[in-house]
Amino acid sequence: MLVLTQSALDPYATVPEWDGPRIIVRPAARLGDIRMPEGMIVAEYLQPPASVTQILCDLTRWLRPRLAENTAPLLFLDRPTDMSEIRSLAARGRSYPGDVATVWDGDRLVMLTLGEAIAESPLLPEFFDILRERGVPDDATMTRLLGETFDWT
């Protein structure tokens, strides 16, 4: 699953091919600002999401049937990027299938990569269901729990 926020996507960029759902997360009022590549799923929020955790909890619930078909790593980006970086991160997710990698800008999670084995796992939507039921924790807690839950070494 490839998840990009509005700040990650250049308005004229072509989103690369991806072996799973491609999603852009954006405020509903700004949908006219960018042309949507074919096959892109748009997740509209009337209020800004509180966290990346909230976004992933929502997406894994809304897109559960599509996630069952996912054959790619999970990549979430909330910072400017380019297509070569996206391809590189996808390759890393395939090379390290059990990897949980993060990039932070201060206390804000701006990149999350889950390796292919984690992203394809039927346990991943269940993981986010549990987080949602228990009152979605902050992103630091979510990423720590991801690493502990999916530590298959």
71: amino acid identity, one letter: T
- E-strand ranges in 10-145 read 22-27, 41-45, 74-77, 100-105, 108-114
Q: Residue 2: in which H helix or E strand, if any?
A: strand 2-5
Measured in degrees and rounded to the nearest 5, phi and psi for residue 95 equal -75, -30
- In tens, the pLDDT along 10-26 reads 655 666 677 778 888 87
Give yes or no for residue 33 having a pLDDT over 70.
no
CB atoms near residue 82 (< 10 Å): 11
Measured in degrees and rounded to the nearest 5, phi and psi for residue 21 equal -60, 140
Average pLDDT of the residues of the chain:
85
Confidence of residue 43 (pLDDT cuts 50, 70, 90): confident
Which residues sit opposite 108 in a β-bridge? Answer: 105
Position 28 scores a pLDDT of: 65
Position 34 scores a pLDDT of: 58
- In tens, the pLDDT along 92-123 reads 999 999 999 999 999 999 999 999 999 999 99
Mean pLDDT of 72-101: 91
CA distance 57 to 55: 6
**Position with higher pLDDT, 4 vs 54:** 54
Tokens at 36, concatenated: 């949507």
Of 14-18, 39-43, 58-62, the one with minimum mean pLDDT is 14-18
